[in-house]
Amino acid sequence: MPKTFVNPIEISVNQSITKADMDTPFLAVDLDKMESNISQVVAGIEKFNLQWRPHCKGHKSPDVARKLTAAGAIGSTCAKLAEAEALARGGVTDLLIANLIVGDKKLKRLAALCQIANPVVCIDHIDQAEPMSAAMVAAGVQVRVIIEINIGLNRVGCGAEQTRTLAQQLSELPGLKFSGIMGYEGHLLTIADLDEKKTKIEAALKILSDVATELAEINLPCQIVSCGGTGSYMLSRMQPNITELQAGGAIFMDQFYQQQCGVEHLEKALTVYATIVGRPTENRAIIDAGKKTMHVEYEMAVVVGRDDIQVESLSAEHGTLKLSGEACQLAIGTRLEFVPGYADMTCVLHDYFYAFRGDNLEAIWELEARGMLQ
């Protein structure tokens, strides 16, 4: 059953759609700013002779992934097998699934994915690898595998000391192609002092670098040594032996990256437009966007170009604004533009990105992998 849309989805060459034509709330992308962010990231990564495999967990859109590969990314990093399948269907095929894949159903799908794409998946225990090997052999395919190492995030990942044995085991299993290692320095993004952040990222990524050297010595070279997020890649790119970076949210930027991760060089390309629907008091306004429209738990949203309006709180479908000065004159029906606190968790609340060049709608990108959690 096709969905019905409140906002227009047909763009005809003769008909120009502007922001004013759109009903609120809607998720807007400023194409000039996004393209500038992409160019900055590409240049910043190329400068260190690294490759860029941006994480798609925020945008979840094959359209966006294709735009990024056209701009220089080698493929995409994904959080879920289903995300990788959606991107592969959309024509992006060099896919790192930065996650552990377990269970017969998923292994069959992974084997099928290998027929149309070239995925690489993470392993941190032999018990994930053996069934994967059997499933790939049964399907007559080979899948690239990398070892995820715990570099301090204490999420997934084996210890560095277990990597050598695991790499040897992986290299001997049929149907698997040992291809390298990864680690994510996500626990170090919000260190305020730049020197301390740099030192700690260096120390964390040295774990990856040392393992890569050690594996090369036993004839198991790492084609892929992957790490890096938007809040760290400017420092991670300087570390030895790293081959590629995963920074993805950088294309949109947000308040969290700026306020808590110290990211200053990127523009806020993703915003939410909302309308004032209530004016209960002189200094309070209510908008038609709440927590189901934008994510503010890590960092509060801000109104673009207005320091006389503060987002005070969001409930499910209402937002409460505190007004001061001239903002106290704002009438019901006024539209405002918001930078969300965290772009990643805001995107997933929406079905579509509406991408504008200036005021004109240029593209609509579906978040096709939204809700694809398996």
**CB closer to ligand PLP out of 189 and 302:** 189
Confirm or reject binding of residue 179 to ligand PLP (CB under 6 A): no
**CB closer to ligand PLP out of 212 and 245:** 245
What is d(CA 281, CA 112) in angstroms, rounded to the nearest whole number? 59
**The one-letter amino acid at 249:** G
Confirm or reject binding of residue 59 to ligand PLP (CB under 6 A): no
Candidates 109-117, 134-142, 202-210, 241-249; binding stretch for ligand PLP (CB under 6 A): 241-249
Burial class (CB in 10 A: 0-12, 13-18, 19+), 331: exposed
Site string for ligand PLP, 68-107 (x = CB under 6 A): ------------------------------x---------
**CB closer to ligand PLP out of 249 and 340:** 249
Continuous H helices in the chain: 31-46, 62-70, 81-89, 104-116, 126-139, 160-172, 194-217, 233-236, 255-261, 343-347
| Binding footprint of ligand PLP, residue count (CB under 6 A) | 13
Q: Is the preceding peptide bond at 280 cis, omega within 30 degrees of 0?
A: no
At 173, is the secondary structure helix, strand, or coil? coil
Say if residues 10 and 239 touch (Cβ distance below 8 Å): no
Question: DSSP letters along 284-353, please?
Answer: EEEES--TTT---SSS--EETT-TTEEEEEE-SS-EEEEE-GGGGGPPTT-EEEEE-S-HHHHHTT-SEE
Confirm or reject binding of residue 245 to ligand PLP (CB under 6 A): no
Confirm or reject binding of residue 184 to ligand PLP (CB under 6 A): yes
Q: How far is the CB of 239 from ligand PLP (least distance, A)?
A: 15
Confirm or reject binding of residue 249 to ligand PLP (CB under 6 A): yes
Q: How far is the CB of 79 from ligand PLP (least distance, A)?
A: 7
Of 25, 175, 180, 248, the one binding ligand PLP by CB under 6 A: 248
**CB closer to ligand PLP out of 30 and 344:** 344
Count of positions (residues) in the chain: 374
Residue 199: CA count within 13 A, CB half-sphere: 5
Of 44, 58, 75, 157, the one binding ligand PLP by CB under 6 A: 58
Of 11, 186, 214, 238, the one binding ligand PLP by CB under 6 A: 186
Task: Give contact residues for ligand PLP (rule: CB under 6 A).
Answer: 55, 58, 98, 184, 186, 229-230, 246-250, 344
